Amino acid sequence: MIYTLTLNPAVDRELTVPAMEFDSVLRASESRVDFGGKGFNVSRLLKGMEEPSTAVGFLGGNAGELLQSGLQSLGIGTDFVWVIGETRTNVSIVTQTHEHYIKVNEKGPLVDSAKQKELLEKIDSLAKQGDWWVLAGSMLPGVADDFYARIVNVLNKHEANAILDTTGEALRLGCAEKPYLIKPNAEEVHALTGMPVDSTTEIASAAAELRKMGAQNVVISMGKAGALMQSAEETWLTHSPKIQEKNPIGAGDSMVGGLVWALTQGIALKESLGWGVASGAATASLSGTEVGSRPLIEELFKQVRFEKFEAV
């Protein structure tokens, strides 16, 4: 079973205007609402791969109801802890030419210790040996940076597999609990370790540092260049297929979705990352907030190249 955890989801509202003007009333020519959250994006990709998942996390208020019903309408299972307050709404205003935008993100509701304990207990009751849990995204008000670490500890107790996709102190503390895999991007690795990431050799060295922090396996996404995977035994570069990029937003989440899908099929980690890279490329090749379909991902996977990295 695959679970995706999103602590601070959002209703993403996008308004399209002819031109950006300040101190004026603008009229939107288009509007759309999406279900925002890194874990949700992973679940959407898994749905396209015909793999069920259950979305877990905190929701509150009318915005939370909207998100839950939206996920369920897509055929994604849900099991949330409901909090006092309103799940955040993030608003984007973009021009029709996509040359300019303004994006405003809310902080999210304050979650007290009792609700945090309720979520930990829910995870404790759901986790089973061999399950896969994707823990993705930022913290929200009232939740300490060690919360992901506490979740990984619970999952390890049940011999479930944790894939951690977060940043900063939450990632550092999470690594200490030895998750199965972490997936930062190169910039996030530099921010956490202070190490340079301008070359493959430097990225591989930074990955080794993250494993010293406790992560069993490290995947560092490198955008169009693909990704680097390092385990205790080997390091591989996975080169992304060539695509015409239309919207890279959400591609990293699709990478995680394709990766965890492949792992649940019993595919080795190196080849699983290839499926992840193909999934990320598929999503980046599509307009708007679409995610890659299985036929497209399968086609792009054929173009993924693997290169063994030998330390200098």
The residue ranges of every structural domain in the chain are 1-143
Give pLDDT tens digits for 77-101.
Answer: 999 999 999 999 999 898 988 788 8
Give pLDDT tens digits for 154-166.
Answer: 999 999 999 999 9
pTM: 0.93
Mean pLDDT of 245-250: 79
- Say whether pLDDT at 36 is over 70: yes
CA distances for 294 relative to 221, 244, 250, 298, 300, angstroms: 21, 18, 16, 6, 10
Q: What is the pLDDT of residue 247?
A: 74
Which of these ranges, 27-36, 76-85, 182-191, has the smallest mean pLDDT? 27-36
Identify the architecture of domain 1-143 in CATH.
3-Layer(aba) Sandwich (3.40)
Nearest alpha-carbon partner for 258 in 229, 241, 281, 236: 281
d(CA 263, CA 51): 12
Give pLDDT tens digits for 105-133.
Answer: 899 999 999 999 999 999 999 999 999 99
Catalytic residues: 253
d(CA 11, CA 86): 10
Tokens 């979705």 sit on residue = 257
Give pLDDT tens digits for 68-77.
Answer: 999 999 999 9
Give pLDDT tens digits for 251-265.
Answer: 899 999 999 999 999
